[in-house]
Amino acid sequence: MTGSAPQLDAVAIEIVKASLDGIVQEMQNSLFRTGFSTIVRESQDASCAIMNPVGDVVAQHVVLPLHIGSFPACCRAVLRAYDDIAEGDAYIINHPYEGGSPHAPDMAVITPVFSGTELVAFCASIAHKSDIGGPVPGSCSGQAKEVFNEGLQLPALRYQRGETRDFGIERIIAANSRTPELVLGDIRGQVGASRLGEQRVLELMGKFGKDNTIASFARLMDLSERKMRAAIAEWGDGRFEAERFVDDDGVELNKPVRIHVVVEKKGDAIHLDFTGSADQTKGPANVRPPLVQAAIGYCLISLVDPHIFINSGVMRAFTFTAREGSVVNPRFPAPVNTYNPTVHALVEAVFAALVNILPERARADGCASRSIILGGRSTSAGKSYVQYEILGGGGGARAGKDGVSGTSVNQSNAKIASIEIIESEFPTRILKFELIPDSGGAGAYRGGLGMRREYLNLQDARFSIRSAKHVIAPHGANGAGDGRTGDILINPGSPEEKRLPTRYADYPLKAGDIFRLDTPGGGGFGASRDRDPERVLADVKEGYVSRHAARDVYAVVLKEQDGVVTLDRAATEELRGEIPPRPKA
């Protein structure tokens, strides 16, 4: 900023902030509407951002919270690799160690924004690719033992020069993918979204002036940091610790992976130490530090203000330690592709530690996240396909609210692809898609229900799953019950029934096979016998809770006459030992 440039007042800063948010939303709308793959177009496993010339995130309209840690790491890899960045360039990177991609299928596209000859910003997106090679369709092997088992690894590469694509890079990517048209189509869509962002950023500078707009980038980051620190300063000081476990790493089965955190808070400073977490795993449960940082940021944003303006200023409000050689800071080339269950455990451990400071924000654990991947060669289309779906389950309950059913939780925010899309694009049929009764943890506030999705496979295919909480249940809070664990069955109820582990790669499905995924329910909050009997009655009527569980778990007696189920209040009070029912929330 030049010394003679006028300062923007508070009103103008707010207008710039709203404009940046709108630009990123417009970029994302463009990306989702031009997506070739169902992962981008339907599940929306992608996000966009604007960064300053050194790679700090200036604005990110959050779809996937972890990307706020990935964007700077990827952008700085570009800055390290190239000292001749020019207008019209576009760069790609998906390397989890060279950059900050959560795993190799998450490819970043980064383009510079120039005002005259001055680099003033970057526009970027990160989007999951349907397949970038490796031993299994979808490139996400639950048994990978190094990143080289996880598909094509690209360091920072110049993909466009003067807006002319490097067809050599495209040929390499296409040669390493089972779905080259989808992958290249999505990459080109990412470039298009960035070009739109570039145009809008320059229009913003035309309105407020280049120097003022650049100065506002720093000002907005300062404001986000100050707001976060001011909130932290109001919390009580202390040292608190908590832990959570991941079922296994996919290679060493029956060996839970520990995530341990010590939170030390003093004044407006807060530090999180993950030194006590497990050593890096043989299987792909490892997480790189940019994601650890982003996960902590997600937790603090959730506790302070979900509507805070998201930028790198939030990340400056805390510090953390991730021991080298641990599951949260692995050494190259440790595998990382099934990182999400570990991040969920990290998030839940951080929340569990911070509840000692903010007991009114206590929450139960949720279902974590999972994906199923089918791949093969379509007999009708005559080419390879990869069916990749992201699925949630039940959210954890909290004080005053039941958990949400059939949803994404924590840092996962992808949508469930519709039945119509899946059946029209892939050789499968969905036989069931329903909530699972009694799967939410019992409590004064009930955990959200998990869901069942059952498929009929129409032709031979290779099947992989990356899931969580099939062994270790989502914890309830304040004396509540845990959520039900998940499950994956091949040909359920038949003599050929087979249960797969939480993570499994490359199971050979035959035409006519049925597979069923049950996702976990969320943990409950508070003692189940404190739940308002009227709410239990409503749950039974909705099919969320069985009549058996109403009596045996919630101590609520129901009666039925002429097909109408009603509450037997006197019998309920007697069963509950004359404890008066909890008032309605």
Q: What is the pLDDT of residues 541-559, one digit of tens each?
A: 999 999 999 999 999 999 9
> What pLDDT is attached to residue 437?
98
> What pLDDT is attached to residue 579?
54
91 pLDDT higher than 50:
yes
Neighbour tally for 204: CB within 10 Å? 22
Q: What is the pLDDT of residues 167-208, one digit of tens each?
A: 999 999 999 999 999 999 999 999 999 999 999 999 999 999
489 Cα distance to chain centroid: 24
Contacts of residue 563, Cβ cutoff 8 Å, sequence gap at least 6: none
The larger pLDDT score, comparing residue 482 to residue 378, is at 482
Residue 4's pLDDT band, with cuts at 50, 70 and 90, is very low
Q: What is the mean pLDDT of the chain?
A: 94
> What pLDDT is attached to residue 580?
52
**Angle (CA) 554 559 564, round 5°:** 115
Q: How many angstroms separate the CA atoms of 408 and 63, rounded?
A: 12
> What pLDDT is attached to residue 3?
42
> What pLDDT is attached to residue 218?
95
- Read off the pLDDT of each residue in 57-66 and give the average, rounded to a whole number: 87
> What pLDDT is attached to residue 8?
81
User: Percentage of the chain with pLDDT > 90?
Assistant: 91
- Give the pTM: 0.94
Residue 392 phi/psi, 5-degree rounding, is -100, -140
> What pLDDT is attached to residue 578?
61
583 pLDDT higher than 50:
no
User: Percentage of the chain with pLDDT > 70?
Assistant: 98
Helices (H), 375-470: 419-425
> What pLDDT is attached to residue 577?
85
Which of 76-80, 255-259, 306-310, 345-349 shows the lowest mean pLDDT across its residues?
A: 306-310
Residues in the chain: 585
Residue 91's DSSP bridge partners are: 110, 158
433 pLDDT higher than 50:
yes
H-helix or E-strand spanning residue 537: helix 533-542
Residue 6's pLDDT band, with cuts at 50, 70 and 90, is low
DSSP class of residue 556 equals -
Q: What is the pLDDT of residues 333-389, one digit of tens each?
A: 999 999 999 999 999 999 999 999 999 999 999 999 999 999 998 877 778 999 999
582 pLDDT higher than 90:
no
- Read off the pLDDT of each residue in 121-143 and give the average, rounded to a whole number: 95
Contacts of residue 383, Cβ cutoff 8 Å, sequence gap at least 6: 377
Residue 414's pLDDT band, with cuts at 50, 70 and 90, is confident
Residue 62's pLDDT band, with cuts at 50, 70 and 90, is confident
H-helix or E-strand spanning residue 330: none
What string of DSSP letters covers 443-479? SSBPPPP-EEEEEEE-S-EEEEEE---SSSPPPPBTT
Please give the structure tokens belonging to residue 277. 């977490």
584 pLDDT higher than 60:
no
- Strands 487-490 and 564-567 turn out to be unpaired
- Cα radius of gyration rounded to whole Å, the chain: 25
DSSP class of residue 530 equals G
520 pLDDT higher than 80:
yes
Residue 51's pLDDT band, with cuts at 50, 70 and 90, is very high
